[in-house]
Amino acid sequence: MPLSGRDIQEGVAGSDAHRLYGEVEDAIAANTYSESELRVVNAVRELYRRAAAETPGGAGALGGSRVFEGGHVLLNDKGTWYTWLKARAGKSQKQNAGQSRVRWSSHESTSQNQYEIPLGGLGCILFGKINGKTWFQNEAHAATTTLSDSILHGLDWVKHKWSGNQQVGALGYSPFSEKNGTHLVLSHPPSPDDY
């Protein structure tokens, strides 16, 4: 399975979304991605794209590859995407992939553990569930893979705080944070069965 093609915003030469799509392509080319990891990359790009288009104030962040700037996305999905992502967390080829991160996270979740899916060159996708809804975001460094990533993750948290709670993604910063009430929301996400 290849990286899905550019969306409309990613196709606009000179745009941030266009540049970020190129960086995603480069990261995938430089690392060995499993089919499961590529499915995750394609799915979170599409979910982010739809949420940015739907959320008031999200129009400035259009383009699915902008998910790798770290924006926090909440899905009104009754937890179906949480289950889908969790099934793929254990299939990552990276060290300690799919480990629970309950103790290490500053992101609120209810009744379920949080997991990360490490993606070579693209940080990780952290996800959890709150009030029956799946949330996810990209983080620059995983907290559960290697000691060096854990240390860098701690430094990313400092950057997060110093920036006024902006999210710190693998390819930049995002103002879309649940801590500021500015997260992106997708009311009617597609079925995970489509991915």
Token output for 169: 């993604």
C-alpha span between 93 and 72 (Å, rounded): 24
Q: Give the residue with greater pLDDT, 48 vs 32.
A: 48
Task: Report the DSSP beta bridge partners of residue 169.
Answer: 172
Residue 21 has pLDDT above 90, yes or no: yes
- Percentage of the chain beyond pLDDT 90 is 58
Q: Give the residue with greater pLDDT, 150 vs 176.
A: 176
Torsion angle, alpha carbons of 125, 120, 191, 22, to 10: 110
Q: Are strands 133-139 and 124-130 parallel, antiparallel or unpaired?
A: antiparallel
CA distances from 88 to 1, 5, 26, 58 (A): 15, 22, 22, 28
Q: At what angle do helices 35-54 and 80-89 cross, to 10 degrees?
A: 150
The answer to whether the CB of 166 falls within 8 A of the CB of 174 is yes
Sign of CA dihedral 26, 162, 143, 40: negative
Q: What integer best gives the mean pLDDT of the chain?
A: 87
